Structure 1
Amino acid sequence: MSIEKKVWWISGVLTFALGVLLFKLLVALNHFEGDPTQLPDQASVDDYLQKLGNVPDYQVKTGIFIKSFSFTGASDVHVSGYVWQHYEDGVHDAIKPTKKEVGFILPEAVDAANGVIEEAYRMDQDGATLIGWYFEQTLRQSFDYTSYPFDHKTVWVRFWPGEFDVNVALIPDFTSYPATGSNDIFGIDPRIVMGTWERENTYFDYRLSDLDTTMGIGENEFQTNLPELHYNFVIKRNFGNAFIVHMVPLIVVTMLLFGAVMTVTRRPELVERHDFSTSSVIGTCSVLFFVILLAHVQLREGFAGSPVIYMESFFFLMYFLLLAVSINTYLFASEAVPSLRFIHYRDNLYPKAAFWPFVLLCMVAITGYNLSLKAGPEDETVIETHN
């Protein structure tokens, strides 16, 4: 076997191996791990509240059903649906809301005055009063784009009790749902149009309030250690749309760049056949640079103010490849640096053979780094408007 064939054989093996490794990393990056804080049943709620060391005076069963949601901004989501609570006779008489009162607060409502929370029904059930409210509110939450387009978003509805001067804990009304296990989806209308997203999971959990004040209401420790009830629904991006819009152009440009590298030669018959010249290769790289730049600007506009995201890293890789191909072509055609055997050897053999292994190795490194970030502590996030 000739040296050229050995080099290309090694290149092919490395390309295949790195391609398989990249695929496995992408599958891992697109995988969602359940939140360990999920509360699947009443026993888990009781265990959580007992560990607080400050048992609430009242526990009010609270349920929610999401009827619709839409994204009104990079950090705003408009949610509508129903919230209901059970008030037991003789137990919750002191905190039972009147018809003009609401038994909960949505602290993340952006413009509560223009939102809607109105009583929808009130009925007596087995020694308790069931009160349901219809609500429409715009909620503001944090977001994270670093894994785009393999990102999962956790959109939540955060509850505070309506009473601040007593120790009240809102607990999930598990009996109102057919199943609330770790893999069950509940509390959301299955007919909601998700667009470029897919339902992944729903669950209740508690997060301790980070307030550093008693709100001026006496010495109530419960105000600074309040277990806030959250209803969460996790959605996974359907990356097919992002792949077509952003990755397909990058793949095509990479192939065109490889084609430009393959035209680099000193063999007279190939020079004439390929019409090779240093200026033509550098000109091709210049044109491809502007194509990539425009696509990069379009992507960045959708994530203004966000750190560098996963897909954006490939644009930086393309900038480096464009520069590397231009420099390689110039050095190969230049007689001033004949000592660079790596470039001049057998008609630029090594740079040609190393092109795809190098590209895939960089993609593996980028994906592995983002996977390590995902394995760390994740912030709960909200959907952005970019599709």
Structure 2
Amino acid sequence: MNRMTIEQQEETGRGMTVEKMVWGLSGLVSLILTAVLFYLWASLNHFEQDPTQLPDQASVDTYLESLENAPDYRVRTGIFLKSFSFVDASDIHVTGYVWQHYQTGVHDAIKPEPGQAGFLLPEAVDVGSGLIEEAYRMPEPGGEVIGWYFEQTLRQSFDYTSYPFDHKTVWVRFWPGRFDVNVALVPDFDAYPATGPKDIFGIDNRIVMGTWERENTYFDYKLSDLDTTLGINQNEFQTRLPELHYNFVIKRNFANAFVVHMIPLIVVTMLLFGAVMTVTRKPNLVERHDFSTSSVIGTCSVLFFVILLAHVQLREGFAGSPVIYMESFFFLMYFMLLVVSVNTYLFVSESAPSLRLIHYRDNLIPKAAFWPFVLSCMIAITAYNLSLKSPPSRDAPEAITHQDG
């Protein structure tokens, strides 16, 4: 009896040592994976400047001179945004001022008459209800500057796949007011205090940003992709028209999305881990934890509906968009709910005694592997999303409102 007692004690001691080693390894791996995940999140949140931006007049001249059909007229054009609001998943409402400089003896043939505008906003969708009205017409040395106040809703393409680490580029796209002559609109750099690669200009500092942070502003050109001459003989210029864009880059505040979406997911994951930890065959622990297969599966069912409601709420904000980064974590949780339910059933089932991985030391391996597996999946999802990340795209955020402060 004494020998059996000693052997049992030694076996129990070895078992406790093995369990401590397994849990220690699980904790260490989890900490390392957490650090890797935060590093990848920082990489996702990094903004790369658009190489096409034009910081000064020299860069504009270089670009225009490289075109096959050089413009006959260059009209200095500036913009100042007073407010903007994202009214839905594809429309942005902007208000502000646009001005242009017309030199006497140079721009006489293209100078707009009172009541006319020297530019077009081709992406405007509310031409009837929108507003472009002349605000001032003032003389200046060698010519005249004309300014217009505008209120327009612009339709643009959106990309939410990196949510909540997405950078959004809001842009105002300009066409010249005349198509029968070769006119190129050029940025009025002199109207701003600084237009370098990291400077923010052309937008009211009092605009409320809400869940967004200012990142950058810049001008650039994009060649038009018109597949028609619009009935004008100068077809080569019209089909390759250099379109002036004013771009405003904003970065999403990750803290807000983390509180709204990630914290509920983390809490549900912890509750699911707690359910896994109640799985046991030890009589004293079964009574203490009130463990049963039905209780664990019932817990998984309740957590499933919690995750489903949160997922539906998230998907409603990005209707029509492909699967976004944050949404992948919900799919992961669906999978984990299924895995935990299957693991519990196989653990208590006498028809599957050969599954030593599950039965070893009272379900030790699935318990210890829970967090390393979850974190590894999150890292794989993040790394995949990072591999798909491209330079800042021309997109816009979901329906949020910014008002003039």
Aligned equivalents of 2:118, 2:238: Cα separation in 1: 16
Change (3 A) 1:176 1:377: closer
1:255 equivalenced with 2:270 (yes/no) = yes
1:347 equivalenced with 2:350 (yes/no) = no
- Specify the alignment match of 1:301 in structure 2: 316
1:36 to 38, 51, 69: 51
- Specify the alignment match of 1:24 in structure 2: 39
For the 8 Å contact 2:48–2:391, the answer to whether it is kept is no
Aligned equivalents of 1:101, 1:291: Cα separation in 2: 57
Aligned equivalents of 1:351, 1:46: Cα separation in 2: 65
Matched residue type, 2:393: D
SS at match of 2:112: coil
1:381 to 385, 395, 402: 395
Q: How does 1:1-387 map to 2 (within 5 A)?
A: 2-374=17-389, 376=390, 379-385=393-399
Aligned equivalents of 1:273, 1:100: Cα separation in 2: 83
Give ranges in structure 1 of 5+ residues lacking alignment. none
Aligned equivalents of 2:34, 2:235: Cα separation in 1: 59
SS at match of 1:129: strand
For the 8 Å contact 1:204–1:232, the answer to whether it is kept is yes
SS at match of 1:285: helix
- Specify the alignment match of 2:7 in structure 1: none
The structural deviation recorded for 1:248 is: 0.9
The structural deviation recorded for 1:379 is: 3.4
Matched residue type, 1:38: Q
Instruction: Name the TM-score, length of structure 1 as normaliser.
Output: 0.98
The structural deviation recorded for 1:378 is: 5.2
Aligned equivalents of 1:217, 1:51: Cα separation in 2: 23
SS at match of 1:134: strand
The alignment-based identity, stated in percent, is 77
For the 8 Å contact 2:47–2:392, the answer to whether it is kept is no
Matched residue type, 2:29: L
SS at match of 1:282: helix
Map Cα deviations across residues 114-142 of structure 1 (whole Å, 9 max, x no partner).
11101111111110210000000000001
Matched residue type, 1:323: L
Q: Report which of the two structures shows the higher radius of gyration computed on alpha carbons.
A: 2
For the 8 Å contact 1:331–1:337, the answer to whether it is kept is yes
For the 8 Å contact 1:77–1:383, the answer to whether it is kept is no
SS at match of 2:134: strand
| Aligned residue-pair number | 386
Map Cα deviations across residues 59-101 of structure 1 (whole Å, 9 max, x no partner).
0000000001112111111100000000111111110111121
Matched residue type, 2:280: T
For the 8 Å contact 2:94–2:154, the answer to whether it is kept is yes
Aligned equivalents of 2:219, 2:234: Cα separation in 1: 29
Aligned equivalents of 1:192, 1:152: Cα separation in 2: 18
SS at match of 2:250: strand
For the 8 Å contact 2:182–2:237, the answer to whether it is kept is yes
Q: Which aligned segments of 4 or more residues in structure 1 are displaced greater than 4 angstroms? A: none
Matched residue type, 2:198: N
Please provide the CA RMSD for this pair. Answer: 1.1
Aligned equivalents of 1:245, 1:386: Cα separation in 2: 15
Map Cα deviations across residues 236-279 of structure 1 (whole Å, 9 max, x no partner).
11122221111111100000000010111111111111111111
SS at match of 1:250: helix
The structural deviation recorded for 1:31 is: 1.2
Aligned equivalents of 2:400, 2:285: Cα separation in 1: 47
For the 8 Å contact 2:135–2:148, the answer to whether it is kept is yes
Aligned equivalents of 1:261, 1:272: Cα separation in 2: 16
Instruction: Name the TM-score, length of structure 2 as normaliser.
Output: 0.94
Aligned equivalents of 2:68, 2:236: Cα separation in 1: 11
Aligned equivalents of 1:355, 1:300: Cα separation in 2: 27
The structural deviation recorded for 1:377 is: 5.4
Matched residue type, 2:46: H
Aligned equivalents of 1:6, 1:330: Cα separation in 2: 27
For the 8 Å contact 2:85–2:400, the answer to whether it is kept is no
The structural deviation recorded for 1:53 is: 2.0
Aligned equivalents of 2:197, 2:122: Cα separation in 1: 26
SS at match of 2:333: helix
SS at match of 1:46: helix
For the 8 Å contact 2:50–2:392, the answer to whether it is kept is no
Aligned equivalents of 1:90, 1:232: Cα separation in 2: 32
Aligned equivalents of 2:188, 2:180: Cα separation in 1: 23
The structural deviation recorded for 1:195 is: 1.4
For the 8 Å contact 1:302–1:386, the answer to whether it is kept is no
